[in-house]
Chains A and B, each alone.
Chain A
């Protein structure tokens, strides 16, 4: 028989179990506190480093495990099933690691990748500005040549790990048009660079989201990431090939959790003398959640696999996976919430958190509308 293998290879299965156990042991106890305070538990960073979650897509020679994007998707899914917020911090951390791996000089890789793997600090890629995340070229932050490098002026918003990142990648304008953006590594402590406020979010609570400010911030020449003018390409590749599959994987985790909660509640809630799982309307909702979960899994795993194969067409597949999985997570968590009746509105039940988290995943990593533009272009062009 002709073979098309849908089984994970052994190492991915081991990664899955490790991430699942890690989420249960190290992450689950923190979720209530994150919901309450909205703050990221820093104590988790060395633990994530120890088990190797921070270096999943980084080569072994720089301290990573080089297990690739399918392994990363599966790990983020398992973490996201317990805490989408922690998974979000982790996925954006991987984005910076991928950006430096793809665009960095050997010296930049040597300098930053091992520290990102060790968890000396978390990573981030700062693109979005108050001028609108969808309109990349509309950004206002500038980088102009100055003695020995560049001077950055402007601000970023909605940046994950804003206060935890030690040397974020920042996209700024060095000219006009699509070749007018460049990427920089800006070290914490650089004069003129400071994070701003910590946002208070409805969902992904506990993932650090905030502003970054640059005021005559001097960045040395050697911290230019990629060539001058390659910032747009770097941003699109990093968002498209690491950011979107990351958000998609988190949506998978939310979908898993939505199914878990829906099944658990419907089997334990008795109406008319028996569990509501006997009611056909409830069964249909559960089937809908399962369809959303399983279709999302297929799209996400395939897109990650394409990336691991080094295939150029992975970015479209990842946009498709991200769009479908995040929208599916919104539908499924709403159904799961409704299955809970009034309990769904109560903070004691995790299902309301899943719904809030799902809603926040839709715009992070590029909105559904932007996703549709990318997808339609891939067939109309």
Chain B
């Protein structure tokens, strides 16, 4: 912990999303098929809170400073202020009309340019998914553009000299992974419990200036960003018809329960009669 390395620099990427607890109030614009974001207040993407907390925790354990970034409309200052309140040291807002309509790649490109502009860094921390788009692509694309290793679904992190050690979640089980710094890591929601931004943090954030960077500030041409720089085109948005096999069991409660047990055993969802867990 008291190694004489230059102070570590962490970067957290975060996204404002419509408050997931009010998703029932969200509507799609029938013309553009995009979310009408004005209908619901924006919050820090819940997944990204885990990245902020992981960075704050690394800072506590290994020292360093945290910068947070978002590419978003100007009112995303609120989400950056919240990240400052949670313990980030500085924040930069990437904002430009030209960024509008960006897909994950154009977003990652703008973020990569901002990371370069920030200078030396050791670790980039992201959430795994955004609550609205939920592609899980921006983190890995950003790592690819920066040419650095990328670990996803991290459950716990350790810094050992110039190496990052992480336990990462897999479909079933976990993997112990290691990467050289600088690296990018995306945090599994199970990694930590992000605390609420404390009031002192909120008032502390008031004193900090948040610079706004345009595409030009980042040295990006209009064709590289926003809709123009996005290879993805959304053709249609629809809810797939869910075709499920439905079966209604008949009889008294006891009979129905017995029939259900038989079926579940037949499908091997429950062990056969007499096995562990049968009643």
Q: Among the listed B202, B204, B206, which residue makes an inter-chain contact with A18, where contact means beta carbons less than 8 Å apart?
A: B202
Q: How many B residues face the partner with a CB closer than 8 A?
A: 19
Among B25-33, B78-86, B100-108, B151-159, the stretch that binds chain A is B78-86
Contacting residues, chain B, for A53 (C-beta < 8 A):
199
Q: How many A residues face the partner with a CB closer than 8 A?
A: 22
Contacting residues, chain A, for B201 (C-beta < 8 A):
52
Can you sample 17 A-B contacts with CB below 8 Å? A10-B81, A11-B202, A13-B78, A14-B78, A14-B81, A14-B82, A14-B197, A14-B202, A18-B197, A18-B198, A51-B199, A52-B198, A52-B202, A53-B199, A56-B199, A60-B200, A63-B200
Contact code string B184-222 (vs A, CB < 8 Å = 1, else 0): 000000000001111111111110000000000000000
A10–B78 touching, CB < 8 Å: yes
Residue of B nearest to A63 (CB): B200
Complex CA gap A18/B85 in Å reads 11
B77 interfacial contact with A, CB 8 Å? yes
Complex CA gap A71/B85 in Å reads 15
Contacting residues, chain B, for A64 (C-beta < 8 A):
199-200
Contacting residues, chain B, for A56 (C-beta < 8 A):
199
Residue of B nearest to A68 (CB): B203
A15–B198 touching, CB < 8 Å: no
**A residues whose Cβ falls under 8 Å from a Cβ of B:** 10-11, 13-15, 17-18, 21-22, 50-53, 55-56, 60, 63-67, 71
Contacting residues, chain B, for A63 (C-beta < 8 A):
200
A65–B81 touching, CB < 8 Å: no
Tell me if A's interface is mostly helix, strand, loop or mixed.
Answer: helix
Q: Among the listed A13, A18, A22, A65, which residue makes an inter-chain contact with B203, where contact means beta carbons less than 8 Å apart?
A: A65
B87 nearest CB across to chain A (Å): 13
Contacting residues, chain A, for B197 (C-beta < 8 A):
14, 18
A26 nearest CB across to chain B (Å): 9
Q: Among the listed B43, B78, B199, which residue makes an inter-chain contact with A52, where contact means beta carbons less than 8 Å apart?
A: B199
Contacting residues, chain A, for B200 (C-beta < 8 A):
52, 55, 60, 63-65
Complex CA gap A51/B196 in Å reads 7
Q: Among the listed B82, B85, B195, B203, which residue makes an inter-chain contact with A60, where contact means beta carbons less than 8 Å apart?
A: B203
| CB contact list, B120-161 vs A, under 8 A | none
Residue of B77, B85, B196 with most partner-chain A CB within 10 A: B196
B198–A51 touching, CB < 8 Å: yes
Question: If the complex has contacts A10-B77, A10-B81, are A67 and B202 also in contact, measured as CB distance less than 8 A?
Answer: yes
Residue of B nearest to A11 (CB): B202
Contacting residues, chain A, for B205 (C-beta < 8 A):
11
A50–B81 touching, CB < 8 Å: no
Contacting residues, chain B, for A50 (C-beta < 8 A):
198
Complex CA gap A11/B41 in Å reads 14
Contacting residues, chain B, for A55 (C-beta < 8 A):
199-200
